[in-house]
Structure 1
């Protein structure tokens, strides 16, 4: 793709295994899902979709084996009515459980355990097409937040995965920002600013994240506005910006070290691929 328009990246880390999926978007109607082995930092392409995957309404099972996602291709006369929630074998997209949606209200869900999940549904129901016998839907009555758009899933997932929410504040354009913190070391915090609002920002949309490193000893903050995704992976800092995935060494008492490139996803182009199942 045009180097002036970098790919957009979002990552889901399996919480009980060294696996992850990278959701790569770009151009806007092309989305790829890539597997990431976090022990070897190697990557394997799953499949492409001519459409949109709503990354903030997605989840990865704790063991990294299954990918729950909400997608839209706008083919409203199709059997899935143009949008759907599916569960696949990560990092592929071929559905082993499939729910037709027909709109973009709510959708997606969260894994509770490796083989049980909750849908983000509320008043806007799904229509089950088929379900893998090993997977079980559970009642969503115990959501900490009401089902809804991207924040309804995303903030719940962040809290589950160890992020501590702060106090929300306005962004000056009718939207809001909710900060989340996760410790990197005794000295350093990773801060995620989750932006949500009606205004669409170029290259980011109406839901996006920025980040900062917070030095708790000195009381200073290092802005990392270009990081569209970042997390702490078993003690190391990992981040995505401008279509690349990288890592930064953070010493317990020292300053942040040099950035290390893990993978550049910008040159990828759409391919028709068949899942091996």
Structure 2
């Protein structure tokens, strides 16, 4: 029997103070590719591949786009890292500058407060420390979201201009945790964050999105697995591709432009250049 294939799953970390971004491309399930995205030119550069899982919702990119922090698992439970680790690396690579290992997927995580200050570094002891980064307490964390992926993902959304909102929109109740971002021309982008009950080919944590115009009209986009407002655009990922749309006025948006198709990539061992 042939194995059913699915499009690569995409999650993107956008630097707040530079045109850089990290694309986390997962697929097949046990292989993950990290790519750098220069948003000023829309060029994409492969960094490194991992034979394992990167927890994209527990990862982050520095405001200047030069470093990122990620939580990963390769299941090598007798290794030095214990099979899971949190690391800080140069973008878009995996080679750790700072490294903390642990033997389970609980608590591994991290967020940038600024370019050199981080919140958390997993729950294990440091195996390697560069001295470039130090830990602090961010003022943007206003709620506790447990120890799983929402513990980092939801504060990251709030830091980046998303607001936790009611699950009722125009008298219709939506299932999930809803975050809202206000856009120009009276538009609102809604991110509906789900846990469990996902379709085949999706993970335990998954998102869908809504666009609400100034007059309250709702457009639903259940196939957008990731979306963000940046560079006066809505960027979104669907079916293994990255798209861009522009808002024209309070009722219209432009045709979608496909910026990149992430299907063709195949695993290759690549060293980091540092």
TM-score clears 0.5: yes
Q: Does 1:71 align with 2:69?
A: no
Partner deviation per Cα, 1:6-40 (whole Å, 9 max, x = no partner): 00000000011111000000000000110000111
Measured in 1, the distance between the counterparts of 2:180 and 2:15 equals 19
Partner deviation per Cα, 1:39-71 (whole Å, 9 max, x = no partner): 111111110000000000000001001110000
RMSD: 2.0
Aligned to 2:26: 25
- Residue pair 2:213, 2:251 contacting (<8 A) in 1 also: no
List aligned pairs for 1:150-169, cutoff 5 A: 150-168=149-167
Instruction: State the SS of the aligned residue for 1:17.
Output: coil
What is the TM-score of this pair, normalised by structure 2?
Answer: 0.92
Q: How big is the shift at 1:253?
A: 3.1
Measured in 1, the distance between the counterparts of 2:23 and 2:15 equals 11
Q: How big is the shift at 1:145?
A: 3.1
Q: How big is the shift at 1:142?
A: 8.2
Task: Name the CA shift for 1:248/1:35 in 2 (closer, same or farther; >3 Å).
Answer: same
Aligned to 2:200: 202
Task: Name the CA shift for 1:260/1:142 in 2 (closer, same or farther; >3 Å).
Answer: closer
Q: Does 1:252 align with 2:249?
A: yes
- Residue pair 1:239, 1:245 contacting (<8 A) in 2 also: yes
- Residue pair 1:120, 1:153 contacting (<8 A) in 2 also: no
Q: How big is the shift at 1:167?
A: 2.2
Q: How big is the shift at 1:4?
A: 4.5
List aligned pairs for 1:129-144, cutoff 5 A: 129-138=127-136, 143-144=141-142
Measured in 1, the distance between the counterparts of 2:267 and 2:39 equals 24
Q: Give unmatched runs, 5+ long, in structure 1.
A: 170-175
Q: Does 1:232 align with 2:229?
A: yes
Aligned to 1:183: 182
Aligned to 1:46: 47
Aligned to 2:118: 117
Q: How big is the shift at 1:241?
A: 0.5
Task: Name the CA shift for 1:185/1:3 in 2 (closer, same or farther; >3 Å).
Answer: farther
Measured in 2, the distance between the counterparts of 1:127 and 1:21 equals 26
Instruction: State the SS of the aligned residue for 1:74.
Output: coil
Measured in 2, the distance between the counterparts of 1:249 and 1:229 equals 16
Counting matched residue pairs gives: 266
Aligned to 1:172: none
What is the TM-score of this pair, normalised by structure 1?
Answer: 0.91
Task: Name the CA shift for 1:142/1:249 in 2 (closer, same or farther; >3 Å).
Answer: closer
Aligned to 1:102: 103
Q: Give unmatched runs, 5+ long, in structure 2.
A: 169-174
Q: Does 1:214 align with 2:212?
A: yes
Measured in 1, the distance between the counterparts of 2:141 and 2:192 equals 22
Aligned to 2:171: none
Measured in 1, the distance between the counterparts of 2:105 and 2:139 equals 21
- Residue pair 2:60, 2:111 contacting (<8 A) in 1 also: yes
Measured in 1, the distance between the counterparts of 2:219 and 2:15 equals 28
Instruction: State the SS of the aligned residue for 2:154.
Output: helix
Runs in 1 of length 4+ with deviation above 4 angstroms?
139-143
Partner deviation per Cα, 1:74-113 (whole Å, 9 max, x = no partner): 0000000000000000100000000001100121110111
Instruction: State the SS of the aligned residue for 1:237.
Output: strand
- Residue pair 1:98, 1:130 contacting (<8 A) in 2 also: yes
- Residue pair 1:184, 1:236 contacting (<8 A) in 2 also: no
